[in-house]
Every structure is written in C-alpha cells, then in structure tokens.
Amino acid sequence: MNSILNNVREDMEAAMIDLSALQAIRAGEIFVVGCSTSEVIGEAIGSAGSEEVAREIFTHVQRFAQNAQVFLAFQCCEHLNRSLVVERKILEKYPLEEVSVKPVRDAGGSMATYAYEHMDEPIVVETIQAHAGIDIGDTFIGMHLKHVVVPVRLSVSSIGNAHMTIAKTRPKLIGGTRAVYI
C-alpha cells in the first residue's frame, strides 16, 4: 500500500501543478471531484474503498482549491445518486438545495465520506453545475458540469491505477455565420 500511496502522491502533485498552470478555473467557481479509491488501488470500482487514498487525494485537491480560491464538491457513489459533499458556505454564492444524508463508505464512497468528515461545515446537495472537475477512476462527473465541457490535457493521465480525466467548461457559442465570438 505504501508504494501505491507514493504513486498517488506523485500523480496528484503533478496533476494539480499542471492544472494550476493552465488556470482552467477562476476564483469563486466550483470544482467537482469524482473518485473511486478502489480503482486507484487497482480494484473494481466500489469494491475496496481506501481511506488512506482518499486522504491523499483530498489533501492535494484541498490545497489546489485554497490556492485557486475555488469551491470543492465531492461526488458520492451511485448509492446516494451521485449527490455531492460541499461546504455550507457555498450556499452564500450558489442556489443549491441541501439534502438530508451523510455519506458512509458503503453508501457514498470512501472519497465523499473522507471529505464529509474533514470539511469545516459539510452538507450534501443533490446536484450542482460545476465549472471544472477531476474524474479519477471513471466515476462520470459529467452530470455535474455546466455546458459546454472541454477536456483538459495534463502530463498525467492516471492516479495510481485509475484512469484520470480533467474537464473545464466554457460558455455556449450561439448564433450563426454572422455571430462574433469572444
């Protein structure tokens, strides 16, 4: 497990440095995190959650969020309908509706559970429209991203044994051949 944690640490460090350099998200926006810690350690999604892996990933994305001054949203597993753990203070800026549930390892997943236990004032919301996000282990965060999603390429494409993708969003292009886009 130590070698996997070392790989996760190195992979996350590289991914967050790359993401910061790209400035794919602005202060005050929402960054969604979907993560299967089972996939990170080389197991099937939802089968072998790891608090140690969750801690390592949480530490890196939290540092990124603090530096970028963005809100984090941690996606739960399908047993909680992919609801999201966020800090209560996000409600001051975004009109989200709190739901009454607390994620646990077997219903929510290790990542969302770890986030809930380590955030200052966590709540769970059913849905969100984030500006960017990271998907570790093919958890399918797309339902929580604004339109239009654009892939972001980094120097790393996996965290541990899990496939990783990063996405940002951009405003829709509307109009026709005479439209001028900014």
pLDDT at residue 67 in the model: 96
pLDDT at residue 30 in the model: 98
For residue range 11-47, what is the model confidence (pLDDT) as tens digits?
A: 999 999 999 999 999 999 999 999 999 999 999 998 8
CB 44 within 8 A of CB 77: no
- The CA distance from 117 to 128, in Å, is 20
Residue scoring higher pLDDT (174 or 141):
141
Other Cβ atoms within 10 Å of 20 Cβ, number? 14
Residue 181 has pLDDT above 90, yes or no: no
For residue range 85-115, what is the model confidence (pLDDT) as tens digits?
A: 999 999 999 999 999 999 999 999 999 999 9
Q: pLDDT band at residue 146, thresholds of 50, 70 and 90?
A: very high
Q: pLDDT band at residue 1, thresholds of 50, 70 and 90?
A: confident
Q: pLDDT band at residue 166, thresholds of 50, 70 and 90?
A: very high
Question: What element of type H or E holds 63?
Answer: helix 51-68
Q: Which residues pair with 104 in a beta bridge?
A: 107, 108
Which CATH code fits 2-169?
Answer: 3.40.50.10360
CB 87 within 8 A of CB 56: no
Q: Cis omega before residue 148 (within 30°)? A: yes
